[in-house]
């Protein structure tokens, strides 16, 4: 999972889920840090409501990543539908 929110957002609410790795790279840093990501691995992109992560998912797809999805609704939806202990903001 790739969380593309800003550091202050990560301090407010964060996903902690067993079974997957979580990498935190703010959206604006993704192009410079692209080498940190493995294009052969499945990738789920996450932000607050799903718009920034959708842009990042599209960018990754354009750059050779073949197993990329956007977490529609972002961490806000995660809080509502998966883990209500995650604060909403």
50-58 LR contacts (CB < 8 Å, sep 24+)? 50/74, 50/77, 52/4, 52/5, 52/27, 53/2, 53/4, 53/27, 55/27, 56/2, 56/4, 56/27, 56/30
Q: What is the pLDDT of residue 77?
A: 96
User: Three-class SS of residue 77?
Assistant: helix
Q: What is the pLDDT of residue 5?
A: 98
C-alpha distances in Å from residue 60, one per residue of 18, 22, 44, 66, 89 = 24, 16, 11, 8, 27
In the chain, what are the domains?
2-81 (3.40.250.10)
User: Does the global pTM surpass 0.85?
Assistant: yes
Question: Which are the catalytic amino acids?
Answer: 47
What is the share, in percent, of the chain residues with pLDDT greater than 90? 90
Name the pLDDT band for 29 (thresholds 50, 70, 90). very high
Q: Is the pLDDT of residue 53 over 90?
A: yes
Once rounded to an integer, what is the mean pLDDT over residues 38-57? 96
């Amino acid at each position: 999972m790739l969380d593309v929110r800003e550091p202050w957002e990560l301090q407010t609410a964060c996903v902690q889920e067993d079974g997957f790795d979580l990498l935190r790279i703010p959206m604006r840093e993704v192009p410079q840090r692209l080498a940190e990501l493995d294009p052969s691995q499945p990738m789920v992109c996450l932000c607050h409501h799903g718009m920034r992560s959708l842009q990042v998912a599209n960018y990754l797809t354009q750059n050779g990543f073949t197993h990329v999805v956007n977490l529609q609704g972002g961490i806000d939806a995660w809080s509502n539908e998966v883990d209500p202990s995650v604060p909403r903001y």
